[in-house]
Structure 1
Amino acid sequence: MKKKWIISGVLSFLIIGAGTYLFFKITKDIPNQLTFTSNLIKATDENGTEQKVELKDLKEIIHETQKLVVKIELEDGSLGSGFLYNDKGDVITNAHVVANAREVKVNTTDSKEFTGEVIGISNDTDIAVVRVEGLKEVDPLKIARSRTAEIGDEVLALGSPLGFQNTVTTGIISGLERDLNIDNFQYEDVYQISAPIAPGNSGGPLIDRKTGEVLGINSAASNQGTIGFSIPITDVLPLIEGWSETPMTSLPSVSFKTEEPLYEGGSIEDYAQYVVNYFYEALNLGDYVTAYSLLGSSWQSKTNYTDFRKGYLDTTTVYVEEITLTNDGDTITAIATISADERNNGANKNVKYKVTYELGYENDQLKLLSGKGEEIK
Structure 2
Amino acid sequence: MKGKWIVSIVTSVIIWGAGIFAFLTIQDSIPQKLTASSQLIVNEGSKKKEDSGKRELKEIIYDSQKLVVKVELDDGSIGSGFLYNNKGDVITNAHVAANATNVRITTADSKGYEGTVIGISGETDIALIRVPGLAGIEPLPIAKERKAEIGDEVLALGTPLGFQNTVTTGIISGVNRDLDIEPFHYEDVYQISAPIARGNSGGPLIDRKTGEVIGINSAGIIEGVIGFSIPISSIIAMIEEWSESPMVELPSIDLGIEGMAIEEISDEDIAGYVVTYFYESINYGDYLTAYAALGSNWQTETSYEDFRTGYINTLAVQIDELTATQTGKNMTVTVLITADERVNGEIVQQSYRVDYEVGYENDQLKILSGQGEKLADDEQED
| Normalised TM-score (structure 1) | 0.57
For 1:337 and 1:243, the matched residues in 2 are separated by 42
Tell me the residue number matched to 2:261.
Answer: 261
Tell me the residue number matched to 1:68.
Answer: 67
SS at match of 1:253: coil
Tell me the residue number matched to 1:301.
Answer: none
Tell me the residue number matched to 1:207.
Answer: 206
For 1:154 and 1:234, the matched residues in 2 are separated by 18
Q: Show structure 1 runs of 5+ residues with no match.
A: 1-19, 40-53, 268-318, 327-333, 339-377
SS at match of 2:141: coil
Query: Larger RCO: Structure 1 or Structure 2 (Cα < 8 Å, ≥ 6 residues apart)?
Result: 1
Question: By how many angstroms is 1:75 displaced?
Answer: 1.0
Tell me the residue number matched to 1:239.
Answer: 238
Tell me the residue number matched to 1:366.
Answer: none
Tell me the residue number matched to 1:149.
Answer: 148
199 and 260 in structure 1: CA distance in 2 versus 1, 3 angstrom threshold:
farther
Tell me the residue number matched to 1:373.
Answer: none
SS at match of 2:194: coil
Question: By how many angstroms is 1:31 displaced?
Answer: 11
Matches of residues 345-360 of structure 1 in structure 2 within 5 Å?
none
Matched, 1:118 2:117: yes
Task: Work out which of the two has the higher radius of gyration on C-alpha atoms and give 1 or 2.
Answer: 2
Q: Deviations over 1:209-257 (max 9, x none)?
A: 1111000000001246511000000000000000000000100111225
- Given that 1:157 and 1:195 are in contact with CA atoms closer than 8 Å, whether structure 2 keeps it comes out as yes
For 2:266 and 2:78, the matched residues in 1 are separated by 14
Question: By how many angstroms is 1:184 displaced?
Answer: 1.4
For 1:135 and 1:158, the matched residues in 2 are separated by 19
Q: Bigger shift: 223-232 or 105-114? A: 223-232
For 2:217 and 2:63, the matched residues in 1 are separated by 18
Q: Deviations over 1:300-354 (max 9, x none)?
A: xxxxxxxxxxxxxxxxxxx9x999xx9xxxxxxx99599xxxxxxxxxxxxxxxx
The one-letter code sitting in structure 1 at the alignment partner of 2:191 is: Q
Tell me the residue number matched to 2:87.
Answer: 88
169 and 266 in structure 1: CA distance in 2 versus 1, 3 angstrom threshold:
farther
Question: By how many angstroms is 1:148 displaced?
Answer: 1.3
Question: By how many angstroms is 1:145 displaced?
Answer: 1.4
Matched, 1:59 2:87: no
179 and 60 in structure 1: CA distance in 2 versus 1, 3 angstrom threshold:
same
Question: By how many angstroms is 1:22 displaced?
Answer: 9.6
For 1:180 and 1:24, the matched residues in 2 are separated by 58
For 1:196 and 1:95, the matched residues in 2 are separated by 21
For 2:54 and 2:234, the matched residues in 1 are separated by 24
- Given that 2:197 and 2:222 are in contact with CA atoms closer than 8 Å, whether structure 1 keeps it comes out as no
Q: Deviations over 1:42-69 (max 9, x none)?
A: xxxxxxxxxxxx9970000010000100
For 1:163 and 1:254, the matched residues in 2 are separated by 23
Q: Bigger shift: 144-153 or 165-174? A: 144-153
Tell me the residue number matched to 1:184.
Answer: 183
322 and 216 in structure 1: CA distance in 2 versus 1, 3 angstrom threshold:
farther
- Given that 1:200 and 1:260 are in contact with CA atoms closer than 8 Å, whether structure 2 keeps it comes out as no
SS at match of 1:243: helix
- Given that 1:187 and 1:231 are in contact with CA atoms closer than 8 Å, whether structure 2 keeps it comes out as yes
Tell me the residue number matched to 1:197.
Answer: 196
22 and 136 in structure 1: CA distance in 2 versus 1, 3 angstrom threshold:
closer
Matches of residues 333-352 of structure 1 in structure 2 within 5 Å?
336=362
56 and 233 in structure 1: CA distance in 2 versus 1, 3 angstrom threshold:
farther
For 2:295 and 2:90, the matched residues in 1 are separated by 36
> Any runs of at least 4 consecutive aligned residues in structure 1 with deviations exceeding 3 A, and if so which?
20-27, 29-33, 257-260, 334-338
For 2:36 and 2:234, the matched residues in 1 are separated by 41
- Given that 1:199 and 1:260 are in contact with CA atoms closer than 8 Å, whether structure 2 keeps it comes out as no
Q: Deviations over 1:102-157 (max 9, x none)?
A: 01111111111111100000000000000001101011000011111111111000
24 and 70 in structure 1: CA distance in 2 versus 1, 3 angstrom threshold:
closer
For 1:249 and 1:187, the matched residues in 2 are separated by 25
The one-letter code sitting in structure 1 at the alignment partner of 2:159 is: S
For 1:60 and 1:207, the matched residues in 2 are separated by 13
CA RMSD of aligned residues (A): 3.7
Tell me the residue number matched to 2:171.
Answer: 172
| Normalised TM-score (structure 2) | 0.57
Tell me the residue number matched to 2:129.
Answer: 130
For 1:212 and 1:186, the matched residues in 2 are separated by 28
| Equivalenced residues, count | 243
Matched-pair identity in %? 60
For 1:266 and 1:179, the matched residues in 2 are separated by 15
322 and 198 in structure 1: CA distance in 2 versus 1, 3 angstrom threshold:
farther
For 2:141 and 2:151, the matched residues in 1 are separated by 21
SS at match of 1:256: coil
260 and 164 in structure 1: CA distance in 2 versus 1, 3 angstrom threshold:
farther
- Given that 2:191 and 2:226 are in contact with CA atoms closer than 8 Å, whether structure 1 keeps it comes out as yes
The one-letter code sitting in structure 2 at the alignment partner of 1:159 is: G
SS at match of 1:244: helix
